[in-house]
Structure 1
Amino acid sequence: MSRAIRSAPSAAAPTFAALALAAGAVVAVLLGVYGSVHQPTGRTLTTLGFSSLISMKVWLAVVAGMLALAQAATAAWMYGLVGGSKSAPRFVGPLHRATGALAVLVTLPVAFSCLWSLGFQSYDTRVVVHSVVGCLLYGALVTKVLVLHGRPTPGWLLPAAGGAVLTALVLVVMTSAVWYLGTQGVPTSTGY
């Protein structure tokens, strides 16, 4: 059963909800500002065993995208949109949390590499969208985590924050890994 169904919002719910949204906005803006003012190094700190930085970024983004799809499916199941029942099996909640945690962990080396090596880029529309939505992804994630683990909030806020994380992650993957695979093919050992 979802958190939104279990807990009724208190009188402080709108205040906490506003603070959670503000914290997410601050994180998104700070990432964008850092990416804009940081002088990109163009260097690779680690490839985590992949043949190149681009290979690491593409394949980890693909994994994150697949985990995002698992997140969407398990969230829909928990909210009674799958299976015709209002109550999902007991394994669905832990599976949802595990795929979410893995998706975040998988995106961290990619995001760090993007910010450190490349910075906030704006040389074409796809790259601007990727840069902006990448910052929004982590802002939405902060909001979702605060809503999930904080005080009770309005019932709509958790699925809205989760939907924002999912949408941002899908857009980031589409404007990076999917674009790369579609235009450049499978990454080779060359590249940054």
Structure 2
Amino acid sequence: MTNTTSNDEQTAAATDAPAAHPAATTGITGVQFLLVATAIGAAVSISLGVYGNTHAPTGDRIVSFGFPAVLPMKAWLTTGAMALVVAQVASAMWMWGRLPGVSRPAPAWAVHGHRWFGTAAFLLTLPVAYHCLWSLGFQDRTTRVLLHSLLGCAFYGAFTTKMLLLRSDRVPARSLPLAGGLLATVLVAIWWTSSFWFFTTIGFPGI
């Protein structure tokens, strides 16, 4: 009778135990998991660059979202994504108690907003990236265009790395904030080399 009770308790404890993170189940250290996540992100970036460079650009568009052409669509959607990422960084700083001029703790809506800001920003980048790769391809005719192409590929690699780091609680403490900050910086640089140039050179079509 005693053995049966003991076995039942052990079974219940095992059932109620939380699922282990990937780094714990595989037995690798947090630093090793960080290196693996970084390598996977780099592989994603390189793969996108290779595809964009070998794919013959079509010059067409799949969907316009009401914009007159591909370039205005890219400029406006990238601007929206950048604005959302800036809001995400601000909400993250608030949650960490690092937002200048704000001393009170971040409310629940800021925590949820942080996640939705990032999700919405990523979704806005998808039609932009698709048309960059499929319609325009990897281009290097000027320094600005080459930098923009490299940053576009790097963004999705950095995004992949960040998402993987979210799956582990054993990576170094600063890894996730640094990954998030790098991702936001890359997106702002993408906006600077594309949307900012477009608006200051071409104008504001679509308004």
The one-letter code of the counterpart of 1:113 is H
Shift of 1:187: 2.4
Q: TM-score, normalised by structure 1?
A: 0.88
Is the CA contact (8 Å cut-off) linking 1:55 and 1:188 kept in structure 2? yes
- 1:149 matched to 2:167? The reply is yes
- Name structure 2 gaps, 5 residues minimum: 1-22
- Which of the residues 55, 74, 80 maps onto 1:63? 80
8 Å Cα contact 1:27-1:139 kept in structure 2: yes
Secondary structure of 1:49 counterpart: coil
1:84 to 103, 126, 140: 103
Shift of 1:151: 4.8
Counterpart contact for 1:54–1:187, Cα < 8 Å: no
- Quick check: 2:52–2:133 contact (8 Å CA) kept in 1? yes
Alignment of 1:29-178 (within 5 A): 29-82=46-99, 83-85=102-104, 87-178=105-196
TM-score (norm 2): 0.82
Report the RMSD for the aligned CA atoms in angstroms.
Answer: 1.9
> 1:38-96 CA deviation, whole Å, 9 max, x = no partner?
111111121123222222111101101111110121111112102235x4222211101
Alignment-mate amino acid for residue 77 of structure 2? L
For 2:176 and 2:42, the matched residues in 1 are separated by 16
Q: Distance in 1 between matches of 2:95 and 2:152?
A: 27
- Alignment coverage as a number of residue pairs: 181
Whether contact under 8 Å (2:67, 2:206) holds in the other structure is no
- Aligned mates of 1:120, 1:73 — CA distance in 2: 32
Partner of 1:6: none
Rounded Cα–Cα distance in structure 1 between residues aligned with 2:60 and 2:68? 15
Give the secondary-structure state (helix, strand or coil) at the position aligned to 2:108.
coil
175-184 vs 9-18, greater mean Cα deviation: 9-18
Q: Could you tell me how far apart the structure 2 residues matched to 1:81 and 1:151 are?
A: 21
Q: What corresponds to 1:25 in structure 2? A: 42
Q: CA separation in 2, counterparts of 1:134 and 1:151?
A: 28
- Residue 128 of structure 1 and its aligned partner are, at CA, apart by 0.7
Unmatched segments (≥5 aa) in structure 1: 1-8
% identity of equivalent residues: 44
Larger RCO: Structure 1 or Structure 2 (Cα < 8 Å, ≥ 6 residues apart)? 1
Amino acid aligned to 2:144: R
Cα distance, 1:188 vs structure 2: 5.5
Structure 1 consecutive aligned stretches of length 4 or more whose deviation exceeds 4 Å: none
